[in-house]
DNA sequence: TTGTAAGCGTTATCAT
DNA sequence: ATGATAACGCTTACAA
């Protein structure tokens, strides 16, 4: 059987609590060096590890934070998870990773599971604010700290948030494509299951209209988050198109950009000669494709830093519940690589 | 504050243990429908969730299993993790995912952390058997069940194992390349930090020698697991080579194959015209590259099935500690796609 | 310096 | 049918 503190104490010939005090190097321990040494030795010999269950029960915390990502297979999220884990571990917290499979229903399940576990804090990518406002409130009730990873909000966000603004990056991308002479655009938008496109098409159309491109020269193509869906959706779009094909594609994430490029290549469409492609995320993989993927980059390290910082602040100031929600804002940057070119 | 069972009982006007019995639908509960309904209602209203900490302490288990993967950024592992998670969740177990960053030292840390958490069972990719034989023994002591994901072992493996045999797949790959007329081979081998190449080069040389290719026409190139290392290592190899360049490359995993192909493309070497490439793993991504990646495929779903099955068997038969270790064996299969071709 | 005892939230045993 | 009570392993006053 697993060794308990009691066993360690017995073997060292002290009382249980004495062993506890010594092992935790509590300041009120005036135990003799000798005694302390005996206890450490006993713990070592027995391979003693404190029971997380007992610790959790007694201390009311597992020293663990949660991260819910939409997609375990998208490198942008695993990269972020990795970064955040390192930062939290440096401060003595474990990170539990859940993934919601790009499904709003399942996301709710993940968040519930996080709360169940009495995790100290959670951070997650907010796909739809309304859907989760009730979660945020419930989390607040069980005193689970939340840091939301979200788009920019106009009103002050009612919870701690790391806000990522893609708008300027997308605008820069469009303007860069216009400079290259492109006039026919496609916009591939990865949507979670159960998520609506919302006003994204309008935003896109509006942006182009302001720059002299009429609405009938733009195509808004909703698809799922995975490679296969991107390939199929964009492929079917290409096959079904009647007028002139788009010469420029902006994909809402790098992974779908890769899927779309495959669909193009299957149809003899060359990138970037026939089609310029810009993704979003700047996943490491993008730099290792035969053509390095042009992309709108998220500053992942800074996002992880900010997230860790906000979490740790709450974790360390558990008392001051009333303090104002904080937010950190970041902007995406256009990164031109090898999948964009002048229109032929 | 979070609602406790005591609160639910109070609100329903019953004793704590009665509430427990009812909520868990224990068979000895002869509670009246009325009482039961009241308890369920109270639990609902209070948003009652049992405390994992208390449950863990009382039941001695968290109904959780662990999976340690070498690399969170390699789709083959996240795919496996996803599959295993689904299967375990179907049987009421949560999956905790750790990644050891392809570092033998850190892997040990991960495994320790798993044991610490009083997790019921753990499965992990054995990179080096000797390094971890002591872990396996220690796990046995704390009655943490282990299923090892490992290469084929000659002697019966002393623990439950899912054995993956790549040898026949690699042989098939070599023979296929020979059929295509290749005579100069490179072998890119991803090694974990702290891991030795062992007899891999010899196995490789021997296999080719038996088929008429002298040793000086083979290159064994060790590298790390990541894209960047693969690109740099293979790039430097290409730059430094004096005699004829290899026309065939077998990379020990798809990710490094992608990195190596990038290095080739940067040097104007075309795939497959100038260089045939075969990876290992059959990651989904491989099918969405401009050239679909030829690969040696692991049957991931079957591996996940087998792993889940072995784990669940131990979990459900906690008593029969003495029963023999079991193993399930699988073979990799060659999958020819678009990155292999006749030598020009 | 060390020991005693209470308590964290739950389940299980035994009375009632 | 239901209720007291002990126990899981640990920390932390407080007493000695």
Nearest nucleotide by C1' from A35 CA?
C1
A265 contact residues in B (CB cutoff 8 A) = 290
Least CB-CB distance to B78: which of A1, A73, A261?
A: A73
**What gap in Å lies between CA B268 and CA A248, rounded to an integer?**
26
- Residue B265: the pLDDT is 96
Longest pairwise C-alpha distance within chain A: 87
* Strand D and B167 CB separated by under 7 Å: no
A56 contact residues in B (CB cutoff 8 A) = 52-53, 56-57
Residue B227: is its pLDDT beyond 80? Answer: yes
Residue B181: is its pLDDT beyond 60? Answer: yes
Q: What is the mean pLDDT of chain B?
A: 90
Residue A321: is its pLDDT beyond 90? Answer: no
Residue B320: is its pLDDT beyond 70? Answer: no
Minimum distance, in Å, between the CA of residue A132 and any CA atom of chain B:
17
Nucleotides of C under 7 A from a protein CB: 1-5, 7-13
Q: Residue A272, preceding bond cis, omega within 30 degrees? A: yes
- Residue B132: the pLDDT is 77
Average pLDDT of A299-318?
A: 94
**What gap in Å lies between CA B278 and CA B293, rounded to an integer?**
7
Least CB-CB distance to B262: which of A2, A54, A290?
A: A290
CA of A18 to C1' of C4 (A): 12
CA of A34 to C1' of D14 (A): 25
Angstrom distances, CA of residue A320 to CA of A60, A317, A324, B218: 18, 6, 10, 66
- Residue closest to C9 C1′ by Cα: B54
Give the confidence band of A31 by pLDDT, cuts at 50, 70, 90: low
A75 contact residues in B (CB cutoff 8 A) = 73
Which residues neighbour B59 within 8 Å (Cβ) at sequence distance 6 or greater?
none
pTM here? 0.93
Residue A196: is its pLDDT beyond 90? Answer: no
- Residue B27: the pLDDT is 61
Nearest to A71 by CA among A63, A81, A61: A81
- Residue A157: the pLDDT is 79
**What gap in Å lies between CA A292 and CA A336, rounded to an integer?**
9
Give the confidence band of B29 by pLDDT, cuts at 50, 70, 90: low
Q: Concatenate the DSSP letters of all residues of A180-245 into one string.
A: TT---EEEEEE--BT---TTHHHHHHHHHHTTT--GGGEEEEEE-SSHHHHHHHHHHHHHH--SPP
Give the confidence band of A296 by pLDDT, cuts at 50, 70, 90: very high
Phi and psi torsions of A98, nearest 5°: -125, 155
* Strand D and B42 CB separated by under 7 Å: no
Cα four-point dihedral sign A256, A260, A261, A266: positive
Angstrom distances, CA of residue A180 to CA of A254, A269, A279, B300: 21, 18, 17, 44
CA of B7 to C1' of C13 (A): 23
Q: Are A87 and A296 in contact (CB under 8 A)?
A: no
CA of B13 to C1' of D1 (A): 14
Average pLDDT of B102-106?
A: 88
Q: Are B208 and B218 in contact (CB under 8 A)?
A: yes
Q: Which two tokens stand for residue A239?
A: 């096959």
Give the confidence band of B225 by pLDDT, cuts at 50, 70, 90: very high
- Residue A330: the pLDDT is 96
- Residue B130: the pLDDT is 75
Nearest CA in chain A to B119: A52
Compute CA A340 distance to the chain's CA centroid, rounded to the nearest angstrom.
27
Q: What is the mean pLDDT of chain A?
A: 90
Nearest to A279 by CA among A265, A258, A300: A258
Taking an 8 Å cut-off on Cβ atoms, the answer to whether A258 and B113 are in contact is no
| % of chain A exceeding 90 in pLDDT | 60
Radius of gyration of chain B (CA): 26
- Residue A30: the pLDDT is 64
Cα four-point dihedral sign B278, B283, B284, B286: negative
Angstrom distances, CA of residue B226 to CA of A333, B189, B278, B281: 25, 11, 17, 14
Taking an 8 Å cut-off on Cβ atoms, the answer to whether A73 and B56 are in contact is no
**What gap in Å lies between CA B76 and CA B285, rounded to an integer?**
10
Nearest CA in chain B to A55: B53
Radius of gyration of chain A (CA): 26
Minimum distance, in Å, between the CA of residue A275 and any CA atom of chain B:
14
DSSP B103: B
Longest pairwise C-alpha distance within chain B: 87
Residue ranges in chain B assigned as alpha helix (H): 5-12, 16-23, 33-46, 52-59, 75-90, 104-116, 129-141, 167-179, 200-209, 227-240, 254-266, 300-316
- Residue A27: the pLDDT is 62
Nearest nucleotide by C1' from A1 CA?
D9
Residue A297: is its pLDDT beyond 70? Answer: yes
Nearest nucleotide by C1' from B29 CA?
D1
Any idea which residue has 């243990």 for tokens? B17
Taking an 8 Å cut-off on Cβ atoms, the answer to whether B228 and A284 are in contact is yes
Any idea which residue has 């940067």 for tokens? B266
User: Which segment of A263-277, A327-341, B318-332 scores lowest on mean pLDDT?
Assistant: B318-332
Give the confidence band of A318 by pLDDT, cuts at 50, 70, 90: confident
Cα four-point dihedral sign B124, B141, B52, B17: positive
Q: Are B235 and B265 in contact (CB under 8 A)?
A: no
Nearest CA in chain A to B270: A290
Give the confidence band of B322 by pLDDT, cuts at 50, 70, 90: low
Residue from B50, B117, B261, B318 whose CB has the most chain A CBs within 10 Å, to mutate = B117
CB pairs under 8 A between A and B: 111
Higher pLDDT, A183 or A324: A183
Nearest CA in chain A to B1: A142
Give the confidence band of B114 by pLDDT, cuts at 50, 70, 90: confident
Higher pLDDT, A232 or B4: A232
Nearest to B115 by CA among B142, B93, B94: B142
- Residue B99: the pLDDT is 93
Which residues neighbour B130 within 8 Å (Cβ) at sequence distance 6 or greater?
none
CA of A25 to C1' of D6 (A): 31
Average pLDDT of B62-83?
A: 95
- Residue B28: the pLDDT is 60
Nearest CA in chain B to A100: B82
**What gap in Å lies between CA A144 and CA A29, rounded to an integer?**
33
Nearest to B227 by CA among B253, B252, B259: B259
Residue A29: is its pLDDT beyond 60? Answer: no
**What gap in Å lies between CA B17 and CA B34, rounded to an integer?**
17
Residue B61: is its pLDDT beyond 70? Answer: yes
Minimum distance, in Å, between the CA of residue B267 and any CA atom of chain A:
11
**What gap in Å lies between CA B162 and CA A283, rounded to an integer?**
32
- Residue B30: the pLDDT is 64
Nucleotides of D under 7 A from a protein CB: 1-5, 7-13
User: Which segment of A197-206, A290-299, B82-91 scores lowest on mean pLDDT?
Assistant: A197-206
- Residue B207: the pLDDT is 92
Nearest to A259 by CA among A284, A277, A239: A277
Average pLDDT of A181-202?
A: 90
Q: What are the pLDDT digits (tens) for A112-155?
A: 888 878 889 999 998 777 777 778 777 777 778 999 999 887 77
Q: What are the pLDDT digits (tens) for B281-306?
A: 999 999 999 999 999 999 999 999 99
Residue A190: is its pLDDT beyond 60? Answer: yes
Q: Are A95 and A64 in contact (CB under 8 A)?
A: yes
Cα four-point dihedral sign A275, A281, A287, A288: negative
* Strand D and A21 CB separated by under 7 Å: yes
Higher pLDDT, B195 or A238: A238
A288 contact residues in B (CB cutoff 8 A) = 227-228, 231, 258-259, 262
B57 contact residues in A (CB cutoff 8 A) = 51, 53-54, 56-57
* CA angle centred on B77, ends B73 and B78, rounded to 5°: 70
* CA angle centred on A290, ends B234 and A173, rounded to 5°: 135
Residue B129: is its pLDDT beyond 80? Answer: no
Residue B326: is its pLDDT beyond 60? Answer: yes
Q: Are A57 and A118 in contact (CB under 8 A)?
A: no
DSSP B145: E
Average pLDDT of A241-261?
A: 96
């Amino acid at each position: 059987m697993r060794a308990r503190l009691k066993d360690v104490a017995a073997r060292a010939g002290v009382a249980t609590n004495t062993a506890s005090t010594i092992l935790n190097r509590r300041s009120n321990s005036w135990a003799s060096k000798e005694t302390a040494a005996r206890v450490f030795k006993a713990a070592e010999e027995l391979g003693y590890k404190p029971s997380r269950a007992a610790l959790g029960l007694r201390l009311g915390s597992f020293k663990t934070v949660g991260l819910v990502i939409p997609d375990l297979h998208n490198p942008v999220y695993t990269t972020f998870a990795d970064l955040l884990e390192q930062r939290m571990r440096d401060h003595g917290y474990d990170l539990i990773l859940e993934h919601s499979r790009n499904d709003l229903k399942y996301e709710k399940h993940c968040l519930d599971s996080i709360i169940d576990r009495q995790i100290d804090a959670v951070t997650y990518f907010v796909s739809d604010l309304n859907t989760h406002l009730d979660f945020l409130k419930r989390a607040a009730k069980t005193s689970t700290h939340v840091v939301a990873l979200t788009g920019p909000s106009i009103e002050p966000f009612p919870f701690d948030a790391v806000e990522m603004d893609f708008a300027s990056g997308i605008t820069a991308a469009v303007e860069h494509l216009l400079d290259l002479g492109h006039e026919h655009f496609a916009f591939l938008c990865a949507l979670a299951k159960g998520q609506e496109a919302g006003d994204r098409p309008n935003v896109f159309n509006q942006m182009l209209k302001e720059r002299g491109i009429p609405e009938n020269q733009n195509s808004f193509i909703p698809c799922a988050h995975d490679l296969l869906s991107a390939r199929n959706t964009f492929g079917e779009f290409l096959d079904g198109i009647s007028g002139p094909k788009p010469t420029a594609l902006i994909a809402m994430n790098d992974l779908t950009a890769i899927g779309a490029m495959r669909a193009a290549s299957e149809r003899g469409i060359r990138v970037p000669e026939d089609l310029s492609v810009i993704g979003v995320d700047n996943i490491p993989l993008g730099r290792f494709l035969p053509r390095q993927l042009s992309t709108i980059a998220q500053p992942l390290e800074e996002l992880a830093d900010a997230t860790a910082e906000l979490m740790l602040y709450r974790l360390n100031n558990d008392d001051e519940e009333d303090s104002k929600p904080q937010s950190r804002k970041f902007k995406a940057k256009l990164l031109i690589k090898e999948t964009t070119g002048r229109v032929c």
